[in-house]
């Protein structure tokens, strides 16, 4: 897993599958710097390098590794995988940096076939040529779509902001910060969404239907039974711990930013959000999360929430214990269950905020299925996801909540969260608040965002590279230092 990234469940499954097919796998772990990867590749005389990553900054780190492989004269194949990677990104951003074979691998089941083709003396040339031709076509189509993209200017997009009813602002029953230490795992267990758990193991289908029908049913039932048995033990013996913290703060929008105030009215920090710029049909607004907080000029009180939760305390130690016993399956299972418990914690805490702490839905009594469908008012968008694509906003969340002290969580230089099984985000309570994707942004918004954040444009372009609707200039040669970004304060 590349530098700055802490996620390795999918990568570990790939490793197990390859080893079962007689490949020797050297797993370097997580947060591995480029120099260490290339040094190990030379030392071990490897045949192939594989890079994995989950968070969007990892995409740029992969570009950096490819560029360094070219600079240092490597010729061996480079494999790309992970949840945020894609064939298009590999073709457009990574493959042009490296003259050796560069191949995007969709999932673990495809890995064996790809490696077989790359290791074949007879078939390698044809396979590599086919991939290169396919990626050249993807680049051409990508550039064509970018050229045809119909986008508003930032000024036009702001004029088309959401019309919000400010009479509907719910006042919270609680303001301030509240932490939970050793949150009961048995309570979180009831809120698990199991469908993504099966997807982690590359079994497609929705829970609970996946247990009873379809080609994956038998494997899904066996996997589910193993998960329940291990979860029973985790809960009974306290092998994992969950901790979290949330806060509700006075706030007002200032343009596309949200100012967050302390009890004395002093600005504690500023959340910077991005606005949709795609052209829309009449009557459809260009949304920004700041639209759902009352503008400062109204002189009206409003609030915003923040949270950070983890269920991964103890997960690494438990996984390593299984690995020492040669039980890779249980090691991966621990991390997969910790992820599900962390998501369940985010779901359960949001439920309690709606019913108790903010209290705008006190009579809510939804089933777990209804909670999974988000059949409730209010949203909890997370930095790094479509409505709030900038991972660096986590710095503000962690600062407001003092998450490192109160919840035993911290951020890497690429704003990945440790423990890996963690979730953080904002709370918006307005009934019109909704999830959306920012989509592509123009240079005018990137420049405006850089000014608002007080950083230079190349830094913003690096962190927002997956959503840029233009080709940035400059000759950046390596990762942006984490010190460029920090919690925004007045």
Where in the sequence numbering do the catalytic residues fall?
5, 7, 58
Q: Could you tell me the sign of the dihedral formed by the alpha carbons of 341, 347, 353, 355, in that order?
A: negative
| Closest C-alpha to 359, from 372, 380, 343, 378 | 378
Burial 353-371, CB ≥16 within 10 A → b, else e? bbbebbebbeeeebeeeeb
Q: Could you tell me the sign of the dihedral formed by the alpha carbons of 334, 389, 51, 119, in that order?
A: positive
Cβ neighbours for 415, distance < 8 A, ≥ 6 positions apart: 4, 55, 57, 383, 384, 391, 392, 394, 395, 482, 485
| CB half-sphere exposure, 118, CA atoms < 13 A | 24
Tokens standing for 136?
Answer: 């050249």
Tokens standing for 149?
Answer: 């993209």
């Amino acid at each position: 897993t590349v530098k700055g990234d802490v996620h390795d469940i999918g990568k570990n499954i790939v490793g197990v599958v390859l080893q079962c097919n007689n490949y020797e796998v050297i797993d370097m772990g997580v947060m591995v710097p480029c120099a260490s990867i290339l040094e190990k590749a030379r030392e071990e005389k490897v045949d192939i390098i594989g890079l994995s990553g989950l968070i969007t900054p990892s995409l740029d780190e992969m570009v950096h590794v490819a560029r360094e492989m070219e600079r240092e004269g490597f010729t061996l194949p480079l494999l790309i995988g992970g949840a945020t990677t894609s064939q298009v990104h590999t073709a457009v951003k990574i493959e042009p940096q490296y003259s050796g074979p560069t191949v995007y691998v969709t999932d673990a089941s495809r890995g064996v076939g790809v490696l077989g083709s790359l290791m074949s003396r007879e078939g390698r040339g044809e396979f590599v040529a086919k991939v290169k031709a396919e990626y050249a076509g993807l680049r051409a189509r990508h550039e064509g779509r970018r050229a045809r993209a119909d986008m508003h200017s930032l000024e036009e997009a702001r004029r088309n902001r959401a019309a919000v009813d400010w009479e509907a602002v719910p006042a919270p029953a609680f303001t301030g910060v509240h932490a939970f230490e050793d949150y009961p795992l048995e309570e979180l267990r009831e809120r698990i969404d199991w469908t993504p758990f099966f997807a982690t193991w590359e079994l497609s289908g929705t829970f609970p239907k996946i247990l009873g029908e379809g080609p994956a049913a038998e494997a899904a039932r066996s996997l589910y039974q193993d998960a329940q048995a291990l979860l029973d033990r985790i809960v009974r013996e306290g092998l994992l711990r969950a901790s979290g913290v949330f806060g509700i703060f006075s706030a007002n929008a200032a343009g596309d930013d949200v100012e967050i105030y302390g009890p004395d009215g002093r600005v504690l920090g500023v959340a910077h959000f991005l606005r949709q710029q795609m052209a829309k049909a009449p009557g459809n607004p260009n949304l920004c999360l700041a639209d759902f907080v009352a503008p400062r000029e109204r002189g009206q009180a409003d609030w915003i929430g923040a949270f950070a939760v983890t269920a991964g305390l103890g997960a690494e130690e438990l996984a390593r214990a299984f690995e020492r016993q040669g039980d890779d399956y249980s090691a991966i299972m621990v991390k997969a269950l910790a992820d599900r418990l962390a998501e369940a914690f985010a779901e359960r805490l949001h439920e309690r905020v709606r019913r108790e702490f903010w209290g705008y839905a006190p009579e809510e009594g939804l089933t777990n299925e209804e909670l999974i469908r988000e059949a409730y008012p209010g949203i909890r968008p997370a930095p790094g996801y479509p409505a709030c694509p900038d991972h660096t906003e986590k710095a503000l969340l962690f600062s407001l909540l003092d998450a490192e002290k109160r919840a035993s969580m911290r951020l890497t230089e690429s704003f990945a969260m440790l423990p890996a099984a963690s979730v953080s985000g904002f709370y918006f309570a307005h009934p019109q608040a909704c999830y959306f994707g920012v989509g592509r942004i123009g240079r005018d918004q990137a420049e405006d965002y850089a000014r608002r954040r007080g950083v230079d444009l190349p830094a913003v372009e690096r962190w927002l590279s997956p959503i840029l609707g233009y080709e940035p200039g400059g000759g950046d040669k390596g990762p942006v230092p984490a010190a460029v970004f920090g919690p925004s304060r007045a």
